[in-house]
Amino acid sequence: DSGVTQTPKHLITATGQRVTLRCSPRSGDLSVYWYQQSLDQGLQFLIQYYNGEERAKGNILERFSAQQFPDLHSELNLSSLELGDSALYFCASSWGQGNSPLHFGNGTRLTVT
């Protein structure tokens, strides 16, 4: 158990809809990262927060947004969903804001129909 909790585990929704994915980091970790993983693909970095502030942005679409709250949990909002957004979305946490090893949750599998 990594200590990182992601909800929901599965999400099925229609094109054009909006969803929110939630992540609780491991106790004591200040950084939260969001990754997207399509079928049989590697990890695509989306965004990182450290102690409530955005620290780095990767290949995150403008339709996607995220935030980290004072209690350090994070939410990833995906709007105007398209079929191509179907993927596994992982949250990871680490103690530092640098290149510390990451602890991953088990992901949210999003299916857009």
Partner 1 sequence: TQLLEQSPQFLSIQEGENLTVYCNSSSVFSSLQWYRQEPGEGPVLLVTVVTGGEVKKLKRLTFQFGDARKDSSLHITAAQTGDTGLYLCAGAGDSNYQLIWGAGTKLIIKP
Binding site for partner 1 (CB under 8 A): 2, 4, 33, 40-43, 45, 48, 50, 55-56, 58, 90, 92, 97-99, 101-107
Which residues are paired to 65 by β-bridges? 77
Least Å distance, CB 38 to partner 1, is 11
Q: Specify the amino acid at residue 57.
A: K
Which residues are paired to 64 by β-bridges? 78
Least Å distance, CB 93 to partner 1, is 11
Q: How many CA atoms lie within 13 Å of 41's alpha carbon, on the beta-carbon side? A: 12
- 47 or 112: CB nearest partner 1: 47
Angle among Cα 26, 31, 35 to the nearest 5 degrees reads 90
- 15 or 41: CB nearest partner 1: 41
- 61 or 104: CB nearest partner 1: 104
Q: How far apart are CA 110 and CA 90, in angstroms?
A: 11
Q: How far apart are CA 66 and CA 91, in angstroms?
A: 11
Least Å distance, CB 43 to partner 1, is 5
Least Å distance, CB 55 to partner 1, is 5
